[in-house]
Amino acid sequence: MINLDQELVVGLDIGGTQLKFGFVSGQGEVLNFKVKPIERTDEGNADIHSMVETIAHFLQEYKGSRKISSLGVSTPGVIDTDQGIVKTAVNLGWGNLPLRRLLEERLGLPVSVINDAEAGALGEYHFGSGRHKDRFLFVSLGTGIGASLCIDGRIYKGRDNTIINLGHNCIFPNGRPCECGNRGCLEKYVSGPALSAQGGKDAVLLYEAAGQGDANARQIFQDAGQVLGMALVSCLNLFGVDTILVGGGLSQSGPYLMEPARKIIGERYKLKRDWEVILAANPLKAGMLGAAVMAFNDLKERG
């Protein structure tokens, strides 16, 4: 008999550059939160084996009395959630990776795998800015851009579990070439790497420069914010939501990115419905929390 009030799960959020993980209770409290850089193989792919060992070590170090029941993993890309396989994750260099099997074999715990934008939406619905919202679009701005539509706490699923592939939505037909094979994709203009490429420095440093009044840095954020705003106008038109909830590392760049985006929406969203673009309450932990929610749900289903 499981007692979910007493048990913890591991929430693991695999980002483009960092792993975030910790123990999560059924009430959404986070214990032993850690952030580690993702190691890359010689081929430049995210090193799954070092990730597995990092989590194994984390579990070995746990000295608490509460039972650790399972692991929920949030990862970018197209996921087969039934099989726990990452079918493609361009930013990690993964294709058909049996993520669940690799983790279960090493850790001896049941593992649930969920796309990062879906996890972010679930995390915010249960523990963040999405509480009491019957429908909202969650947009994750980081190394890539993901989106997920949350309706009454359930995530809209496309055929074959496909997500809302907002980052690879073409904005400029003849724009910058993208790793996906298309050109002019949104995330070539708004993601962390896109901003770094334009500013010649890490997006965090670029944000600091903008804060110190660097006109070039501010212009880069302004341009990216306008492109983001246009993409969000399309989202408001397409999905019939009034709330867009923005998370991910880049959502932390404050007014420099989000204000131009909101200004564009005000100018270009013509349906005259009320709308709001709000920040995730847990921008850095929403994915981990949502992965934990999925792990708890799977535990309940298994009884």
Q: What is the contact surface with Zn ion in residues (CB under 5 A)?
A: 168, 178, 180, 182, 185
**In angstroms, how far is CA 40 from the centroid of its own chain?**
20
Which of 214, 200, 204 lies closest to 284, judged by CA?
204
The tally of CA atoms less than 13 A away on the side-chain side of residue 121 is 28
Nearer to Zn ion, 75 or 129 (CB): 75
Give, for 255, the enclosing helix (H) or strand (E). helix 254-268
Helix, strand, coil abundance in the chain, percent, nearest 5: 40, 25, 30
Nearer to Zn ion, 2 or 180 (CB): 180
Report, in Å, the least distance between residue 180 CB and Zn ion: 3
Report, in Å, the least distance between residue 253 CB and Zn ion: 22
CA dihedral (294, 185, 232, 254) positive or negative: positive
Nearer to Zn ion, 75 or 282 (CB): 75
Burial class of residue 1 in the structure, from the number of CB atoms within 10 Å of its CB (0-12 exposed, 13-18 middle, 19+ buried): exposed
Nearer to Zn ion, 59 or 178 (CB): 178
Nearer to Zn ion, 72 or 142 (CB): 142
Return the DSSP state at 183. Answer: B
